[in-house]
Amino acid sequence: MITNNRVATAILATAATSFALLPVAQAAEIATARACVDAENVWVQVDFGTESDQPTKGGCATDFTDGLVALESAGFDVDYIDSEYGAMLTGIEDVAPTWTEDNPVYWSYWTGNVAADYTVAYESYMVGASGSTPEAGTVEAWVASDGSVEPSLTELAAAPAEDNPSQSSGSSADTGVFAVIAGILALVGGGLAALFTIPGLNIPGVVLPKL
């Protein structure tokens, strides 16, 4: 038989868990390259090349102590081998170019400085990904090519109008957060109401009003 105190403990634990999840609901996903660099993160862009069916992909890296860390932080699956010169990238998202004299394709690695108008000027890295130090507010780019092809991302586009509603109408993210808060308050309120109706309830350190 479940005791009153156990019921109370379960209700309070459920409420505490709900509040612990609130920061997750509040976290806003950074969906555009412009928003990413504006937030002093690093946007990672990958061009998989003409020999792959993979479309160009990008992601926001919030951890970018080096180039490999930035790739993984941006959500890419990375393959590499260790060498005497550090980690050597061999594949991104299972795309692994094979360099030959007849077809000298490899992963070229670029850093892009973002101008005030959000155009991007690239320079090829002279070090490998494990030896680079990406700067906040820049673009990291990878291109499967012979090294002569620059990254395709030349300007960071603004978010579509529907993703930037006016302040008076409120954002969908704010609406979602308010909905989560309302749900948690309803849960906690219902749980406390249930506690008040349990006869003989005694929770150490908690004084419940008499209804």
Q: Which pLDDT band holds residue 148 (cuts at 50, 70, 90)?
A: very high
pLDDT by residue (tens digit) across 9-52? Answer: 444 344 444 444 433 332 335 779 999 999 999 999 999 998 89
Domain ranges of the chain: 4-28+164-196, 33-158
Domain 33-158 belongs in CATH node 2.170.130.30: yes
Residue with tokens 């209804």: 211
**Which string of b and e fits 89-125 if b means at least 16 CB within 10 Å?**
bebbbebebeeeeeeebbbbbbbbebeeeeebebeeb
Task: Please state whether beta strands 78-83 and 57-61 pair in parallel, antiparallel, or not at all (unpaired).
Answer: unpaired
Position 168 pLDDT exceeds 80: no
Position 165 pLDDT exceeds 80: no
Position 5 pLDDT exceeds 90: no
Q: Which of 98, 96, 123, 97 is nearest to 109 (CA)?
A: 123
Give residue 87's pLDDT. 83
Half-sphere exposure at residue 142, Cβ-oriented, CA atoms within 13 angstroms: 29
pLDDT by residue (tens digit) across 92-128? Answer: 999 999 889 888 999 999 999 999 999 999 999 999 9
CA distances from 105 to 37, 59, 74, 148, 150 (A): 29, 23, 24, 10, 13
Q: Is the overall model pTM greater than 0.85, yes or no?
A: no
The tokens of 63 are what? 């951890």
